[in-house]
Amino acid sequence: QVQLVQSGAEVKKAGASVKVSCKASGYNFAGYYIHWVRQVPGQGLEWMGWINPDSGATRYSQKFQDRVTMTRDTSISIAYMELTRLRSDDTAVFYCARDWLSDYFDYWGQGTLVTVSS
């Protein structure tokens, strides 16, 4: 069965970087884009961008464009999202989600809480 398992919670200082992983299983990892979504506590979902695991091509939301990098390692079916220059308002749960044929996100990871302290 399709599963996306994310790395564990992180606590970071303001100004630092965080790298969250998303391990895929149960399907051909290279065949489906992976999206990353941020959710600040008590607030809504924000799309951050996607990565094409096959080519490595990426597309980022303008909001995160200058601070986010999405990468992948196809040999171990893992997608990564790195966010730099963390601020206290980056404290959030970050989700990865599989893109089904560019139509919708059908499977989601369990989420990774990143806490940024000043």
Would you tell me which residues interact with other proteins (CB under 8 A)? 35, 37, 44-47, 50, 59, 61-62, 95, 97, 103-106, 108-111
User: Closer CB to other proteins, residue 89 or residue 104?
Assistant: 104
* Minimal distance, residue 66 CB to other proteins, in Å: 15
Task: Find residue 115's DSSP bridge partners.
Answer: 11
* Minimal distance, residue 13 CB to other proteins, in Å: 26
User: Closer CB to other proteins, residue 8 or residue 44?
Assistant: 44
Are residues 23 and 75 in contact, defined by beta-carbon separation less than 8 angstroms?
Answer: no
* Minimal distance, residue 37 CB to other proteins, in Å: 8
User: Closer CB to other proteins, residue 13 or residue 66?
Assistant: 66
Are residues 114 and 97 in contact, defined by beta-carbon separation less than 8 angstroms?
Answer: no
| Rounded Cα–Cα distance for residues 38 and 2 (Å) | 21
Q: How large is the C-alpha radius of gyration of the chain?
A: 13
Strands 3-6 and 10-13 come out as: unpaired
